[in-house]
Structure 1
Amino acid sequence: MNLLEINAHIRQRPPFQMIERVTALEPGKSADGIKCVSVNEPYFQGHMPGLPIMPGVLLIESAAQLCSLVIEADGSDDSKVYVLLKVRDFKFVRPVVPGDRLEIHAEMVRGGAGVYTFDVTISCDGGVRAKGELMFTAVAQDSIYA
């Protein structure tokens, strides 16, 4: 999937859309995606000026966006939103800096009854940068602002 195809399936948009390419997708099982880190991204202006490091929470968000494609690859159910429920044992092994091309792998380890758990790994140049477990739940869209 290229950027335009991804736009048809996830709700995030630039500058908050983190997944730029999907290189493999098995709905309900796993996905591999790409995030190219650019010095022009807005968060670098205020996150450690002079020493640009991608915030860990945005690494988690990048992986979460890829996971959402595994849960609902066709993006057809507008009545539901998949929200991050839990982050578990996430480790940040090495900093992510401008110029890095992140390779993100998301593998569903449990799913059903509206709760989905993934093991995710974020790598660059053959080395792991971050890894951990993400859990999601389905929420009725009309209940969010009720």
Structure 2
Amino acid sequence: MRFYLVDRITEMELGKSAKGLKCWSLTEGIFNEHFPGYPIVPGVLAIESMAQLLGILLEKSHLANFGEEHESYAVLSIVHKAKFKSFLLPGDRAEMVGKLNTFDINHGNGVVDTFVDGKLISSCDLSFVLIPKSKMPNERLVDMRNEYFNILTQAESQRGQTIL
């Protein structure tokens, strides 16, 4: 992945929901050009952040439900709806809440809401296809995705909280 847009996963209930954080820092390169003098998070990156959280929930739920022999990776396929009530700004701590609506061995769908200071900022209805591990382009990509999940849940694990 070029952009890692979830900083931490704080809760996960397999097959149901996940909560995660993204802290948008002014030092991120996206703010240099978007927009000069008035930096805001591009909507497409806000959607990608929400998709990453829901995609991880879908992957882990799929693994728990169908087993390692059907291990798969979520790829965003459809943004059904994206609503933005306000801009995400540098310094915002975005709290995302993702909920799976449905999933089977090949697909998944859910919604993610993003909050800043308790206020709803954005909402997305997203669909994914699940690519079997055996069809991933290379093992390095699989390893990188697994390492990313471990990093996202590391802080909670060190505090004695279990995510899965």
Q: What are structure 1's unaligned runs of at least 5 residues?
A: 1-11
Correspondences of 1:48-67 after superposition (within 5 Å): 48-67=35-54
Q: What are structure 2's unaligned runs of at least 5 residues?
A: 139-164
The residue that corresponds to 1:3 in the other structure is none
Higher helix share: 2
Residues 14-50 of structure 1 show CA distances to partners (whole Å, capped at 9, x for unaligned) of x611111111101221100000010011111111111
Does structure 2 conserve the Cα–Cα contact (< 8 Å) formed by 1:79 and 1:141? no
Aligned-pair distance for 1:125?
Answer: 0.6
The residue that corresponds to 1:106 in the other structure is 98
Distance 1:131 1:43, change over 3 A: same
> For residues 120 and 42 of structure 1, what CA distance do their matches in structure 2 show?
25
Correspondences of 1:1-146 after superposition (within 5 Å): 12=1, 16-73=3-60, 80-139=72-131, 140-142=135-137
> For residues 114 and 102 of structure 2, what CA distance do their matches in structure 1 show?
20
Root-mean-square deviation (CA), in Å? 2.3
Who wins on radius of gyration, i.e. which is larger? 2
Q: Give the secondary-structure state (helix, strand or coil) at the position aligned to 1:72.
A: helix
Higher strand share: 1
Normalised by the length of structure 2, the TM-score is 0.72
Normalised by the length of structure 1, the TM-score is 0.80
> For residues 48 and 90 of structure 1, what CA distance do their matches in structure 2 show?
21
